[in-house]
């Protein structure tokens, strides 16, 4: 890791807190999601009602793994991590990252990485040995981000790429 990125990680650790999502956070997370997916609409829900249903689904899937990053009381990113996911490709329960977003104004300062680290720690705590996710094949920013965090491409379905890593 370069000294620059480790300085950014320290900045994220100092200013950003990560905690479980509460029901009352959802309206703000819907706004954050819609803002974060501008330009990537082909891979996202675009109607606020659909995004809200999706957030509620994330809570139901795994309330312990749905985490929000805040700075100054403001949500700036979240991750929908699910330790109860049965992966058909793996034939076992894995840690699935269904969603990760960071507010465009707060990107490239280690917040996404801090959220992912919390999710991977949580998966390990739950006894999972593999993490998996699906990403749109033209979403190069996210693909590069996942590669830096140790994920590797492992097949695809239509325009979705499956990525995984050991824990
Ligand atoms: C993907 C996303 C969550 C990354 O969040 P972030 O907070 O900017 O990520 P970080 O700052 O923690 O970056 C982590 C690493 O990725 C790298 N990175 C960040 N932006 C990058 C970019 N545009 N291109 C290449 N690498 C990039 C950083 O340099 C950092 O590496 P380093 O620690 O070695 O310096 C964010 O870009 C996002 O919300 N994208 C839109 C939603 C989305 O596509 N989600 C994924 C759906 S599958």
- Cα-flanking dihedrals φ and ψ of residue 130, to 5°? -140, 140
pLDDT of 1? 43
Domain ranges of the chain: 3-133
Q: In this predicted structure, what is the pLDDT of residue 78?
A: 98
Q: If you measure from the C-alpha of residue 6 to the centroid of ligand 1, how many angstroms do you get, rounded to a whole number?
A: 15
The model's pTM: 0.91
Instruction: State in Å: Cα 107 to ligand 1 middle.
Output: 7
Domain 3-133 CATH class label: alpha beta
| 5 close to ligand 1 (CB < 6 Angstrom) | yes
Instruction: State in Å: Cα 108 to ligand 1 middle.
Output: 6
Q: What is the mean pLDDT of each run of 10 residues along the chain (167 residues)?
A: 52 80 97 96 95 97 98 96 97 98 96 98 98 97 98 96 98
> Whose Cα sits closest to atom 5 in ligand 1?
112
d(CA 64, CA 44): 23
């Amino acid at each position: 890791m370069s000294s620059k990125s480790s300085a950014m990680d320290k900045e994220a650790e100092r200013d950003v807190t990560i905690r479980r999502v509460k029901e009352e956070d959802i309206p703000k997370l819907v706004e954050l999601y819609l803002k974060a997916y501008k330009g990537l609409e082909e891979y996202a829900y675009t109607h606020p009602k659909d995004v809200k249903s999706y957030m509620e689904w994330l809570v139901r899937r795994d309330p312990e793994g749905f985490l929000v990053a805040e700075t100054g009381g403001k949500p700036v990113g979240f991750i929908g991590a699910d330790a109860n996911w049965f992966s058909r490709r793996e034939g076992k329960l894995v840690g699935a990252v269904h969603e990760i977003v960071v507010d465009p104004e707060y990107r490239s300062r280690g917040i996404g990485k801090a959220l992912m680290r919390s999710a991977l720690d949580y998966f390990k705590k739950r006894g999972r040995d593999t993490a998996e996710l699906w990403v749109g094949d033209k979403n190069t920013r996210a693909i590069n981000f996942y590669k830096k965090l140790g994920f590797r491409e492992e097949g695809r379905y239509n325009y979705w790429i499956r990525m995984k890593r050991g824990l």
